[in-house]
Structure 1
């Protein structure tokens, strides 16, 4: 059975750092690079065009898309299929419960959902420390994430981690142990 990890949380909750720790822990893990249509940060994304988005939509290959920070971000079927080749386990970063639900419902695999959380203050500090030029937008996204969780109490998390009190290495180890139990 194909497997994947869904990391959900507000900006600066540790998605990138924990993904890196998981990848160091075991080569089976890999960061899923969502397709990004727009500008700004390119690291961690496959950059695409409006024409590519139109073609994916026409074929029904968009599992989930969202607009944030003036860009469109996609989880696409071809990208997921490629990321799961040879038993690899992709790690998807999502900031909306609707995205988690769309991936779980729209792409057949055993998905492990992990809620990463940190305080709003931590998001602000971490955003500034990493040099984000849009910290205010990231704080607004933190607020939206908090509302999203409150609005979807029925969503079941396989694991919840508070990244204000758990190190990235500890978080990676907990996620890895959960995945290993499921194999």
Structure 2
């Protein structure tokens, strides 16, 4: 019996540290790689595969959209081919999501041994981090922080494999905690 490959979902509000912690995971040299969602729209391009409405329509037509959502005037897509590419390369995808509906959809639709991680920061930390990195849409990010808090409150049944308060841990510390959790759940020699 072939074992499913490991994969990670990082869920949390804007500025919780998903990008920074993912870079720290990659630096561990343990095979982690950021999954770059397809983004249809404008703005930040780092960490995304930019696409067109036609690209999205083609994926939808072929049934290859696992989950999509709209935020900040853009559409963000988790697609089957993108995840397949990382799995085929033997890498551990690290997927960023900001909606529990998305977490659940991905886990249900894509065959992997998912480790779910709740990264959290306070509203004040989100404001400070957003301003510190020069975001021009800090108010929108604070609204998204509140939407994330509301999402957590609306899904009390959601169980996380690991919860990390990013104000209490450096990105490197958080990455080690996540890597240890993935490795303890899926030890080497057990098909991983």
Is TM more than 0.5 here? yes
Alignment of 1:88 with 2:91, yes or no, is: yes
1:42 corresponds in structure 2 to 45
TM-score of the superposition, structure 1-length normalised? Answer: 0.98
In the TM superposition, structure 1's runs of 4+ consecutive aligned residues that sit over 2 Å from their partners are none
Tell me the number of residue pairs that the alignment of Structure 1 and Structure 2 aligns: 183
Distance 1:18 1:86 in 2: 21
1:166 corresponds in structure 2 to 169
- Kindly provide the CA deviation profile for residues 101-151 of structure 1, in whole angstroms up to 9, marking residues without a partner as x: 010001011000000000000000000111100000000000000000000
Q: Which runs of 5+ in 1 are unaligned?
A: none
1:177 corresponds in structure 2 to 180
2:136 corresponds in structure 1 to 133
SS at match of 1:84: helix
1:112 corresponds in structure 2 to 115
- Kindly provide the CA deviation profile for residues 63-111 of structure 1, in whole angstroms up to 9, marking residues without a partner as x: 0000000000000000000011232101000000001001000101100
Alignment of 1:2 with 2:11, yes or no, is: no
Q: Which runs of 5+ in 2 are unaligned?
A: 188-192
TM-score of the superposition, structure 2-length normalised? Answer: 0.94
Computed over aligned residues only, the root mean square deviation of the Cα atoms, in angstroms, reads 0.7
